[in-house]
Amino acid sequence: MDKELNKDIDKTSVKVSNKKWDKKSDKEGNQKKKLAGKTGRQPSEWPRHGIQLLWALITNSYLAGFLQGRIYEGKLKNLCVPGLNCYSCPGALGSCPIGALQAVIGSRNYQWAFYVSGFLIFVGALVGRFVCGFLCPFGLIQDLLHKIPFPKKLRTFRSDRLLRKLKYAILILFVILLPMFLTDILGQGSPWFCKLICPAGTLEGGIPLVFLNSAMRSAIGWLYAWKNVLLSAIILASIVIYRPFCKYLCPLGAVYSVFNPISVFRYRTDPDKCVSCGACARACKMNCDPVKNSNDPECIRCGLCKKACPAGAISCGWKERESLSD
Amino acid sequence: MSRPGLQGRSRRIGLLLAAAGLCLMGYGVFRGEMDIVFEKAVRICMECIGIG
Ligand code: SF4
Ligand code: SF4
Ligand code: SF4
pLDDT tens digit sequence for B1-52: 435 566 778 889 999 999 999 999 999 999 999 999 999 999 999 999 998 7
Ligand 1 atom with the smallest distance to the CA of A250 is: 2
Residue B37's identity, in one-letter code, is V
Which chain A residues in 28-57 lie under 8 Å from chain B, judged by CB atoms? none
pTM here is 0.88
Residues of A in contact with B6 (CB under 8 A): 326
Spell out which residues of chain A touch residue B17, defining contact as CB-CB under 8 Å: 121, 124-125, 259, 262
Residue at A36 is within a domain: no
Q: Is the pLDDT of residue A1 over 60?
A: no
Contact (CB<8Å) A320/B22: no
> Which among A284, A285, A316 is the best mutation to test ligand 2's pocket, defined by most ligand atoms within 8 Å of the CB?
A284
Same domain, A164 and A67: yes
Residue B19's domain comprises 6-48
Distance from C-alpha of A291 to C-alpha of A311, rounded to nearest angstrom: 13
Q: So what's the pLDDT on residue A100?
A: 97
Average pLDDT of chain B? 89
For residues A36 and B39, give the distance between their C-alpha atoms in angstroms, rounded to a whole number: 56
Show which of A217, A235, A259 is a domain's final residue.
A259
Test A115 with B34 for CB contact under 8 angstroms: yes
* CB A136 less than 6 A from any atom of ligand 1: yes
Query: Residue A96: nearest ligand to its CA?
Result: 1
Q: What is the pLDDT of residues A75-106, one digit of tens each?
A: 999 999 999 999 999 999 999 999 999 999 99
CA angle B17, A138, A189 (to 5 degrees): 65
Residues A312 and A201 in one domain: no
pLDDT digits (tens, 9 = 90+) for A182-234: 999 988 999 999 999 999 999 999 999 999 888 888 889 999 999 999 999 99
d(CA A191, CA A176): 9
Is A22 part of a structural domain of the chain?
no
* Containing structural domain, residue A318: 266-326
Q: Which residues of B touch A226 (CB under 8 A)?
A: 50
> Across all residues in chain A, what is the average pLDDT?
89
> Nearest CA to CA, how far is B1 from chain A (Å)?
5
Question: What type of residue is A92?
Answer: A
Distance in Å, alpha carbon of A4 to nearest chain B alpha carbon: 42
Q: Is residue A32 part of a domain?
A: no
- The pLDDT-based confidence of A12 (bands split at 50, 70, 90) is very low
Give the containing element (helix H, strand E) for A76. none
Residue A233 shares a structural domain with residue A295:
no
Cβ distance A32 to A311 under 8 Å? yes
Q: Where are the alpha helices (DSSP H) in A87-186?
A: 97-106, 114-127, 130-134, 137-145, 160-163, 166-170, 178-181
The DSSP code for A189 is B
CA distance B43 to chain A (A): 8
CA distance A230 to B37: 26
- For residues A3-31, give the mean pLDDT: 48
Give the whole-angstrom CA distance, residue A100 versus residue A119.
11
pLDDT > 90: percent of chain A: 80
Q: Which of these, A145, A164, A148, lies nearest to A156 by C-alpha position?
A: A164
Of the partner residues A103, A202, A268, the one whose CB lies closest to the CB of residue B40: A103
Q: Where would I find the beta strands (DSSP E) of B1-52?
A: none
Residue A305 host element (H or E): helix A304-308
**A230 and A270 housed in the same domain:** no
Q: Is residue A126 part of a domain?
A: yes
Provide, as residue numbers in chain B, all residues whose Cβ is less than 8 Å from the Cβ of A294: none
Contact yes or no for A21/A292 (Cβ under 8 A):
no
Distance CA A92, CA A59 (A): 6
A7 in helix, strand or coil? Answer: helix
CA distance A200 to B47: 12
Q: Of A246, A235, A230, which is closest to residue A287 (Cα–Cα)? A: A246
For position A42, what pLDDT does the model report? 79
Domain end (from A225, A244, A259): A259
Q: Could you tell me if the CB of A299 is within 6 A of ligand 1?
A: no
Instruction: Say what the ipTM of the complex is.
Output: 0.93
The answer on A216 and A140 residing in a single domain is yes
Q: What are phi and psi of A284, to 5 degrees?
A: -75, 120
The DSSP string of A228-291 is HHHHHHHHHHHHHBSSHIIIII-HHHHHHHHHGGG-SSEEEE-TTT-----HHHHH-TT---TT
Q: Which of A70, A107, A121 sits opposite B36 (nearest CB)?
A: A107
Angstroms from A316 CA to nearest CA on chain B: 12
| CA neighbor of A121 nearest in space, from A243, A266, A263 | A263
Spatial separation of the C-alpha atoms in residues A75 and B20, rounded to whole Å: 25
Residue B12: inside a domain, yes or no?
Answer: yes
Determine the 3-state secondary structure of A19 from DSSP: helix
Please check the confidence at residue A16 and state whether its pLDDT lies above 70: no
Closest CA relative to residue A210, chosen from A191, A195, A228, A235: A228
Q: Given A73, A94, A194, which is nearest B45 (Cβ)?
A: A194
